[in-house]
Chains A and B, each alone.
Chain A
Amino acid sequence: MDRKVTSLFGYVSKNVLLAFYALFALFPLIWMLVLSFKPDSQMFTTTFFFDPTLDNFRAVFSQSDFLRNLLNNLIISSLAVVVSLAVGVPAAYALARFQFKGREDIAFTFLSFRFAPEILVIIPLYLIYQRLGLIDNYFGLIWVYQLISLPLLIWILRGFFEDISPDIESAAQLDGYSWWQVFFKVLLPLVRPGLVAAALLCFIFCWNAFTFTLQLGGNSTQTSTVSMTRFLASDTVHYGWVAAAALVSALPEVILALLIQKHLVRGLSFGAVKG
């Protein structure tokens, strides 16, 4: 009986806590949604009751190259994550599995690429990029985004690789699989939750990158994250436009999160994990 009461109490308090956090996390987003449908004239005179309009969305798409900026962001951020995955997954594996001299130092060096404040890096980097002709260039931005995504990806994945017992690999190799087969058929499914979470986080941080993009980008590589802030810079801030632009710009991230949701579960896990 006592146990039942405490478990009921636990159940209720757990869900109340979750509800409070959900309210805190979601209310500003709901409010953004409301703003994006509000006409400018009723922005501050009404709260929830107003004449909904699509003018804000229309303005966002007609007043600027917003669609092109979205496409730029999509190209740059996706390619940046792909490059990070291509070089980062093997690196994370090596740092987790191989025993070699300076392993911890190299791992820490990768992390340290994130230590320098962006403003410290940006001015010298601008001068170098200018000389290399990488200003306002897709390749230049994809390169600089590696500073954002690669340390995160390597460090998250390394932890997940370390959790897998080397026995699994040897066992699969004894069964006649080549190393590559082991890697793709055994290891990757095992680290899938980590891989997917890391890739999603890297994409989100690249997508929302601001300082680097503002300084090193230009008209032809302008991303939606940077172009949104132009709506703030005009004399009168059209809050409706900003809200509409921000919501549209978040869509690709949401779609990606939806797509990978089901992969956030480990592939096979029969005693494969140390513990």
Chain B
Amino acid sequence: MSIGTIDLEKLPARAEKNDRSELGKQYARRKTLRPYLVLAPAFLLTIGILIPFVVAIFYSFTDLTLRSSDFNMVGFDNYIDTFISSDFWHSVGVTLQYAIWSTGIEMLLGIGVALLLNQENWVSKTLRLVLILPLMIAPVIGALIWQLMTNPTVGILRFPLSWIGLGGFRWSADPDYALFSLILIDVWIYTPFVVILVLAGLRSLPKSPYEAVLIDGGSPWFVFRNLTLPMLAPSLLIALVFRLMTSLQEFGIIFALTKGGPGDRTLSVAVKAYNEAFPFYNLSGAIPMLLFLWALIYAVCFVLIDFWRKAQRAASGTV
């Protein structure tokens, strides 16, 4: 940021290279191993997930159903069946729409609300606690409450809707607004997730750069654009990545509210795979869909994080 600052990232590394004295060698070896040793417990605890994953890939090449435990190898048949079906690509479209809209709205709303709540008065203090409550209700129950509120004949929301001339609005039962209704519930539940992360980021910002700008007299937008946003970026990236990957996988809200309907209007990949595996017992036919979803999430997160790391490296190069 200023001329004459020493690049802290590179300094220790250079010092280590010079430290190849006979005495330092053993210490250096211990030092290269140390990060792996520190990481090992966390890694061992979660690596178990790979076993189910490999088993699932194996099953995708069989005709295993939930009816019997016998199965034959069928090669790539399940994959071909999945990927030539236009219904599947429709579900991919639904999944993408759901994820992009809900994540987009949650990010904007979450950042806005967090900025507004980052003040020290009793209203902000109370709201900081109260506004994260929707996240604490189990998503399935949250979806149920919304279903009850939006019921066209007995739901409480029929009153305000009729005042503004939208009486008889059918929410998730209306093919044109079903996806909108689901996104609304997703936004209701998960916006607090973004709020918590952004607030934590805001609370750990250093004070001195702000004081400097205050003396120079920058506009609020200038401060936000050039100070807050860059320093908040790590928290925002985490929020974005986690919201994207969970909304791409979202099953509970959609299943509880519409089960994919009306018709197949809200049939996301996760719900379609569930339908295939359980009511139709076609377990092995469902796995290619889920693996596709996995690959999609992998690709999206990889691109996001790669982009982020490059941007960060570019930024630290100019320090």
Name A's B-contacting residues (CB within 8 A): 10, 14-15, 17-18, 21-22, 24-26, 28-29, 31-32, 35, 44, 47, 83, 86-88, 90-91, 93-95, 98-100, 103-104, 106, 108-125, 127-128, 143, 146-147, 150-152, 154-156, 159-160, 162-163, 165-167, 190-191, 193-194, 196-198, 200-201, 204, 207-208, 210-211, 225, 228-229, 232, 239, 242-243, 246, 249-250, 253-254, 257-258, 261, 264-266, 269, 271-275
**Which residue on A lies nearest to B133, using beta carbons?**
A29
**Which residue on A lies nearest to B37, using beta carbons?**
A94
- Is the Cβ of B127 less than 8 Å from the Cβ of A99? no
Binary flags per residue of B113-128, CB closer than 8 Å to A gives 1, else 0: 1001100000001011
- Is the Cβ of A22 less than 8 Å from the Cβ of B291? no
Besides A22-B130, A120-B53, A228-B138, 10 other CB < 8 A contacts?
A26-B131, A47-B159, A91-B39, A99-B13, A109-B43, A119-B274, A146-B46, A147-B46, A163-B234, A265-B203
For the residues of B in contact with A, the DSSP-based class is helix
- In the bound complex, residues from chain B placing their C-beta under 8 Å from that of A250 are 133, 136-137
Name B's A-contacting residues (CB within 8 A): 1, 8, 12-13, 32, 34-36, 38-39, 41-43, 45-46, 48-49, 51-53, 55-56, 59, 109, 112-113, 116-117, 125, 127-142, 144-146, 148-149, 154, 156, 159, 188, 191-193, 196-197, 199-201, 203-209, 220, 231, 234-235, 237-238, 241-242, 245-246, 249, 251-252, 270, 273-274, 277, 283, 286-287, 290-291, 293-294, 297-298, 301-302, 305, 309
| Tally of contacts, chain A with chain B, CB under 8 A | 269
- In the bound complex, residues from chain B placing their C-beta under 8 Å from that of A111 are 241, 301, 305
Q: How far is the CB of A186 from chain B (nearest CB, A)?
A: 14
With A104-B309, A150-B46 in contact, is A120–B134 under 8 Å at CB? no
- Is the Cβ of B46 less than 8 Å from the Cβ of A28? no
What are 20 inter-chain pairs, A to B, with CB distance below 8 A?
A: A17-B112, A18-B116, A25-B134, A28-B134, A87-B45, A91-B38, A94-B39, A99-B12, A108-B301, A108-B302, A116-B52, A120-B56, A128-B55, A163-B204, A167-B8, A200-B196, A204-B135, A261-B129, A266-B204, A275-B1
With A44-B154, A150-B42 in contact, is A115–B294 under 8 Å at CB? yes
- Is the Cβ of A124 less than 8 Å from the Cβ of B56? yes
With the chains together, A100 CA to B28 CA distance in Å?
12
- In the bound complex, residues from chain A placing their C-beta under 8 Å from that of B41 are 86-87, 90-91
With A116-B294, A249-B138, A257-B132 in contact, is A91–B42 under 8 Å at CB? yes
- Is the Cβ of A29 less than 8 Å from the Cβ of B245? no
With the chains together, A254 CA to B132 CA distance in Å?
9
